[in-house]
């Protein structure tokens, strides 16, 4: 437990200092986040934020990684293959996000080089990384809810790789879509990482029930990223002084997705990331209605749905806090289901 607390505390402190340093650095450069205007059907009501420093996700990920490393200095906590591959996945996908962010800032237009191809590129890379995870670690290759044997549907190698790649890829995109209001993505990710911290640590304390490999290291990793998100929120809360950018959204989404794979909670991921599913789903529904109507009608005033509520008259802070509440309820529900299943197993 001490290692988990160390990881969270170090992650938060490094993120607090690192994010502040990034703000100063990007302010000196004189360029920041471009915003799509009305001519591109973008959130013109957000134009006042144009020029705000971005790529703050760099501080989150470095802080989380630092917290994870420092927690191992205490001794008694071995490095695990699963955690190493999670970090590999996080930094590879974050690297794609960084390149996209860099080009957006350089060109001062909110569309990077991967505007239409990024989805295919990230999915292919994610599938390759899931192959590495499946072939080099003892991760259970079943469809799982609260543990590997629940429901425990086995998947052959290729099917498992495709299934987990879809999970991780979808989560990265959902977090990216959620990152549209100050603190919304970071706050909801914080809740998600806290959930995985509890799940992994619970599995560590009850190894006879949970077929999870190196759960303590996964709990430490989750706690470090939770702390890093908390430190970043100090500067990212409305009115934000820095945005996380694609580098942060893709990195955090990759971490949440791969944690669901390694903690055997595949089917619980949509509950833990409920607000992200809500946001990404609103985009899918909006596009579906628009195309079905011959490009004439839209269900929402603007998607993702947080912009719909803004245009309906809700202040930005109201949208953010209410969405945080929804996220907290989703995470609490997931943890309650997890503990209820544990109680049921113990009572047998």
DSSP-based three-state secondary structure for 143: strand
311: pLDDT strictly greater than 80: yes
Ordered by start, the domain boundaries in the chain are 2-270
The strand pairing partners of 151, in sequence order, are: 144
Better-predicted residue by pLDDT, 110 or 300: 300
DSSP-based three-state secondary structure for 329: helix
d(CA 236, CA 324): 14
248-274 pLDDT, tens per residue? 999 999 999 999 999 999 999 999 999
DSSP code of 184? H
DSSP string, 199-248: HHHHHHH-TTT---SSHHHHHHHHHHHHHHHHHHHHHHSSSPS---HHHH
Provide the token pair at 127.
């599938």
pTM of the model as a whole: 0.92
User: Among residues 140, 118, 136, 116, which one has the least CA distance to residue 128?
Assistant: 136
Residue pair 143/267 in contact (Cβ under 8 Å)? The answer is yes
Largest Cα–Cα separation, the chain: 63
38: pLDDT strictly greater than 50: no
d(CA 67, CA 224): 5
Instruction: Report the range of poorest mean pLDDT among 143-152, 252-261, 287-296, 334-343.
Output: 287-296
DSSP-based three-state secondary structure for 151: strand
162-202 pLDDT, tens per residue? 999 999 999 999 999 998 888 999 999 999 999 999 999 99
Tokens 């020029």 -> residue: 51
Mean pLDDT of the residues in the chain? 89
Give backbone dihedrals phi and psi of 76, rounded to 5 degrees, phi first. Answer: 85, 0
Average pLDDT estimate for 79-107:
90
The answer for residues whose C-beta is within 8 angstroms of residue 221's C-beta and 6 or more apart is 7, 64, 68, 83, 86, 87, 255, 259
């Amino acid at each position: 437990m001490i290692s988990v607390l160390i990881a969270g505390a170090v992650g938060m402190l490094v993120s607090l200092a690192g994010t502040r340093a990034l703000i100063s650095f990007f302010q000196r450069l004189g360029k920041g986040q471009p915003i799509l205007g009305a001519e591109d059907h973008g959130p013109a009501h957000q134009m006042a934020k144009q020029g705000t420093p971005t790529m703050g996700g760099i501080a989150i990920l470095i802080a989380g990684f630092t917290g994870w490393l420092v927690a191992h200095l205490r001794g008694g906590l071995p490095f695990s293959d699963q955690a190493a591959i999670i970090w590999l996945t996080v930094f590879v996908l974050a690297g794609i996000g960084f390149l996209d962010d860099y080009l957006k800032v350089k060109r001062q237009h909110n569309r990077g080089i991967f505007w239409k191809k990024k989805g295919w590129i990230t999915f292919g890379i994610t599938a390759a990384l899931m192959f590495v995870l499946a072939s080099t670690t003892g991760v259970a290759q079943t469809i799982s809810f609260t543990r590997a044997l629940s429901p425990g549907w086995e998947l052959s190698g290729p099917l498992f790789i495709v299934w987990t790649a879809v999970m991780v890829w979808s989560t990265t995109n959902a977090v990216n879509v959620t990152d549209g209001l100050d603190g919304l993505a970071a706050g909801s990710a914080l809740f998600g990482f806290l959930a995985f911290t509890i799940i992994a640590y619970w599995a560590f304390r009850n190894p006879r029930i949970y077929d999870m490999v190196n759960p303590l290291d996964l709990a430490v990793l989750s706690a470090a990223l939770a702390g890093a998100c908390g430190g970043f929120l100090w500067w990212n809360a409305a009115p934000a002084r820095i945005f996380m950018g694609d580098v942060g959204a893709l990195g955090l989404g990759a971490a949440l997705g791969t944690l669901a794979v390694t903690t055997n909670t595949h089917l619980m991921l949509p509950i833990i990331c409920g607000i992200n599913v809500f946001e990404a789903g609103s985009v899918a529904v909006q596009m579906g209605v628009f195309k079905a109507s011959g490009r004439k009608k839209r269900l929402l005033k603007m998607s993702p749905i947080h912009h719909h509520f803004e245009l309906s008259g809700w202040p930005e802070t109201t949208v953010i806090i209410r969405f945080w509440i929804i996220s907290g309820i989703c995470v609490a529900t997931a943890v309650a289901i997890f503990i209820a299943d544990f109680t049921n197993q113990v009572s047998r």
